[in-house]
Amino acid sequence: MSKSNWETVLEQLENGEARAAEPKGDGWEANVDVKEAILDSFGAGENTEYSGIYDGFVDKHNLPPRRFKVADNVRLVPGGSSVRRGAYIAPGVIIMPPAYVNVGAYVDEGSMIDSHALVGSCAQVGKNVHLSAGVQLGGVLEPVGLSPVVIEDDCFIGAGAVIVEGILVKKGAVIAPGVTLSKSIPVYDCVNEKILEKGAAIPERAVVIPGTRPMSSEWAAGQGLSMACPMIVKYRDAQSDASLELEDALR
């Protein structure tokens, strides 16, 4: 019996042969065919009761958690983590418990996913990225043409950071703990003294921290109210690189 298209695509995703988004020019573009195949897999799936180590869980029968072997060179540490079918985990990746990697996600070589971190559906994570504890990378399955969250190579994402709505974080950027990045929140570049367009990519090697800005309405200003906003306070230098150097021994 020939495989359905969604079965073939899920296998290609797990092998790294297909991706839900791909670089194009200065940005990234969603692979609509891949995302449609993932949605087809949900339509074809039927809820089933899992058994064995997954006893008591219910999910689509065709999207079970992935299993790994020593030969995969992936460290999935025991304690409640799960990697769903159709997600790519490259050699040298470490996943600390509990963490979750959803269908269509791509995690490249040497990256670490720390405790309580989420790599949402179709999110793309580059090489040597550190996702600290509690990081949330939003998933974007629909609309199918919308690019997912992308974290390029050598980025450091601090604890509790939230990155959603298809935001692109470019190579070597540092996102400090507690920063929220979404298309509705402007980013203030205090180095170049400009405001990035809403939804714009975080530049290469930018260091982004949580900040505030005063609210513009007269009443809010009278109350001394401020809104949260991300701020670029520097761009990485040799000292920054040294403080963020990843340890090969962990991998």
Closest by CA to 236, choosing from 157, 174, 156, 191, is 174
Is 120:102 a contact under the CB 8 Å cutoff? yes
- CA distances (Å), origin 2, targets 5, 7, 39, 144, 189: 9, 10, 20, 26, 53
- Burial label for 14, CB within 10 Å (0-12, 13-18, 19+), is middle
3-state class (DSSP) for residue 244 = coil
> CA 180, 182, 184, 187: dihedral to nearest 10 degrees?
60
Q: Reply yes or no on whether the pLDDT at 247 is more than 90.
A: no
Confidence (pTM): 0.94
Per CATH, the number for 5-182 is 2.160.10.10
**Boundaries of every domain in the chain:** 5-182
What average pLDDT does the segment 193-208 reach? Answer: 95
Q: Reply yes or no on whether the pLDDT at 171 is more than 80.
A: yes
Task: Please tell me the distance from the alpha carbon of residue 127 to that of residue 91, in angstroms, as a whole number.
Answer: 10
Is 21:39 a contact under the CB 8 Å cutoff? no
Return mean pLDDT, the chain: 94
Is 48:37 a contact under the CB 8 Å cutoff? no
Is 149:124 a contact under the CB 8 Å cutoff? yes
pLDDT at 249 (0 to 100): 66
pLDDT at 251 (0 to 100): 66
pLDDT at 240 (0 to 100): 73
Closest by CA to 161, choosing from 120, 126, 208, 108, is 208
Tokens representing 87 are: 């997600």
Q: How confident is the model at residue 2 (pLDDT cuts 50, 70, 90)?
A: low
Tens-digit pLDDT profile for residues 56-104: 999 999 999 999 999 999 999 999 999 999 999 999 999 999 999 999 9
pLDDT at 152 (0 to 100): 98
The backbone torsions φ and ψ at residue 224, rounded to the nearest 5 degrees and listed phi first, read: 70, 30
Task: Please tell me the distance from the alpha carbon of residue 119 to that of residue 81, in angstroms, as a whole number.
Answer: 12
